[in-house]
Structures are given as C-alpha cells and as structure tokens.
Amino acid sequence: MVRLHIDYDLCSGNGRCYALFPDLFTDDENGYGQTVDGGRVSDHELARRATLCCPEKAITAEE
C-alpha cells in the first residue's frame, strides 16, 4: 500500500492526474486535483505512473 499526496504549493491545476487516473484523483471546484480514498493505492506501479504524470512534480507516493 502506498499513499499519494498532492503538494498544493506546486499544483497548478493542469488536470492531468484526474483525467488520466480517474480512479485515483478527482477535481475540486477550481480544477485542482484531489486524491480519492485518502490517496491510498495498492498497485505500486499505478501509483508510480500517477506521480510521473504531473508536470509540476506535485504528486508524491509514500510507502
């Protein structure tokens, strides 16, 4: 199990995370990403791809 985290100092609302990984993220009122289910993901490879999709490097995964 890993936990995904969005750093809102870096997030600029590009929306790639929730467009590409709708099971892991959703959007808020202003188009910023939010993690789903507290960011818990069991598939490590999926979590890794999710961190890579962010152009602002705002998404991190913790074991």
Partner 1 sequence: MHNTLTGPGTETVSDIPEYPMARDPRCPFAPPPQSLELAASKPVSRVHIWNGSSPWLVTGYQEARALFSDSRVSVDDRRPGFPHWNEVFAATVHERPRSVFTSDAEEHTRFRRMLSKPFTFKRVEELRPAIQTITDDCIDALVSGPQPGDLVAALALPIPSLVISRLLGVPYEDAEFFQEQAEIKLARFASAEENAKRSLVLANYMAELVEAKLADPAEDAVSDLAERVKAGEITVKEAAQLASGLLVAGHETTANMIGLGVLALLEHPDQLAVLRDATDPGVVANAVEELLRYLSIVQTGQRRIALEDIEIAGEVIRAGEGIIIDLAPANWDPEAFAEPDRLDLRRAGAEQNLAFGYGRHQCVGQQLARAELQIVLPTLFRRIPTLRLAVTMDEVPFKHDRLAYGVYELPVAW
Contacts with partner 1, residue ranges (CB under 8 A): 12-16, 18-21, 27, 30-31, 45, 49, 52-53, 55-57
Q: How many residues does the chain have?
A: 63
Residue 11 tokens read as 């997030």
CB of 27 to partner 1, least distance (A): 5
Half-sphere exposure of 33 (CA within 13 A, CB side): 36
- Nearer CB in complex with partner 1: 5/56: 56
CB of 12 to partner 1, least distance (A): 8
Are 55 and 8 a contacting pair, CB within 8 Å?
Answer: no
